[in-house]
């Protein structure tokens, strides 16, 4: 009887343990790990099937699992810095545990791996974009004339602009894209917002931070770029409008400019049929927030 009780308690405790799996999402990374003798998988597709089976099994047992993006180059650097042998499973385990808190990771919630992998890659891109934009923003330093921290002022300005843009959008789901082309690399940030039953705007905090940082970088460096908003509400056509980034200001696009942007093939220049039940329109008036520069003497 006591032995049975101990087994039951261990099963209960296993359900309390949170696990993390480091996933090699593409063939290139998988091949890079095969140079280690203790990494015994031979085929990437078989490896993915085995991972998916393991995730399903843990979920059926009531265990929570986080899936993290495993990067072989970062793993090798981690082992070198920590003085670990990269060709032993315990080193991979320690690196994976580190990924759970610092790297791109998403919870497994029963979704097929075919859906989980793109979501994990998107999360990695989002995190890398935020880190890159944050680094560039921090390097802007202080204004030579007034001593104000340019990056900080731009972030405050971007935060106020984002709030105003969301305030003036119609109720419903909102999909906002910011693109910046004047930095060393083109950056794109996406923000999704929706209203709850009480009419309050709900945002993903990580998305909002990334979006604000990328917008702040555009403002702080006065780089060319643009903002595009798409709003969706039941019973109404979707509305698409946008602004161009010009210095520290944003300028509204005309309905014709928005239509041309959405209904022209980027590569060929040919016209594309417009979407049905969609209004290409001018944006709402942002008032003084859309016109007043953030950094001024």
Choose the weakest-confidence range: 8-22, 45-59, 142-156: 8-22
Q: Give the pair of three-digit tokens for residue 41.
A: 């998988």
Other beta carbons within 10 angstroms of residue 55's beta carbon come to 23
The SS3 call for residue 279 is: strand
What one-character-per-residue DSSP string does 81-129 give?
HHT--TTSHHHHHHHHHHHHHHS-EEE--S--HHHHHHHHHHHHHHHHH
The two most distant CA atoms of the chain are separated, in Å, by: 80
With CA atoms as reference, report the closest residue to 109 among 150, 144, 63, 168.
63
Over residues 121-144, the pLDDT tens digits come to 988 888 888 889 999 888 988 877
* pLDDT score of 90 more than 60: yes
Task: Give ∠ CA 202-209-237 in degrees, rounded to 5.
Answer: 45
* pLDDT score of 162 more than 90: yes
* pLDDT score of 292 more than 60: no
What is the value of pTM for the model shown? 0.76
pLDDT of residue 204: 86
Tell me, what DSSP letter sits at residue 60?
A: H
Strand extents, DSSP E, the chain: 19-23, 65-69, 105-107, 173-180, 187-195, 201-203, 225-232, 238-246, 249-252, 278-280
Other beta carbons within 10 angstroms of residue 104's beta carbon come to 20
CA 266 – CA 181 distance, rounded (Å): 15
Work out the average pLDDT over 137-155.
83
Of residues 182 and 81, more confidently modeled: 81
Other beta carbons within 10 angstroms of residue 123's beta carbon come to 18
Task: Give ∠ CA 92-93-98 in degrees, rounded to 5.
Answer: 95
Rg for the chain (alpha carbons), in Å? 24
Work out the average pLDDT over 271-283.
86
Helix axes 205-221, 113-138, angle to 10 degrees: 40
Of residues 23 and 140, more confidently modeled: 23
pLDDT of residue 2: 46
Q: What is the mean pLDDT of the chain?
A: 86
């Amino acid at each position: 009887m006591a032995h049975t009780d101990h087994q039951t308690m261990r099963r209960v405790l296993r359900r309390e343990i949170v696990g993390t799996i480091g996933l090699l999402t593409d063939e290139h990374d998988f091949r890079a790990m095969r140079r280690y003798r203790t990494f015994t998988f031979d085929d990437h597709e078989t490896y993915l099937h085995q991972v998916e089976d393991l995730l399903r099994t843990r979920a059926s047992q009531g265990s929570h699992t986080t899936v993290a993006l495993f990067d072989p180059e970062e793993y090798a650097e981690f082992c070198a810095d920590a003085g670990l042998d990269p060709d032993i499973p315990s080193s991979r385990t320690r690196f994976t545990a580190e990924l759970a808190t610092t790297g791109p990771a998403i919870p497994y919630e029963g979704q097929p791996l075919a859906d989980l992998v793109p979501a994990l890659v998107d999360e990695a891109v989002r995190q890398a974009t935020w880190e890159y934009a944050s680094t560039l923003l921090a390097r802007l330093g202080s204004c030579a004339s007034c001593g104000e921290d340019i990056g900080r002022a731009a972030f405050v300005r971007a935060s106020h602009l984002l709030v105003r843009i969301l305030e003036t959008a119609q109720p419903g789901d909102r999909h906002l894209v910011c693109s910046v082309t004047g930095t060393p690399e083109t950056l794109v940030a996406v923000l999704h917002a929706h209203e709850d039953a009480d009419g309050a705007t709900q945002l993903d905090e990580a998305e909002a931070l990334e979006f604000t940082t990328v917008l702040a970088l555009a403002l702080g460096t006065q780089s060319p770029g643009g903002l595009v908003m798409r709003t969706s509400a039941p019973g109404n056509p979707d509305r698409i409008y946008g602004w161009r980034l010009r210095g520290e200001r944003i300028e509204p696009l005309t309905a014709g400019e928005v239509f041309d942007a959405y209904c022209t093939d980027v590569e060929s220049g040919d016209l594309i049929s417009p979407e049905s039940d969609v209004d290409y329109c001018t944006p709402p008036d942002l008032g003084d927030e859309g016109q007043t520069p953030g950094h001024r003497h």
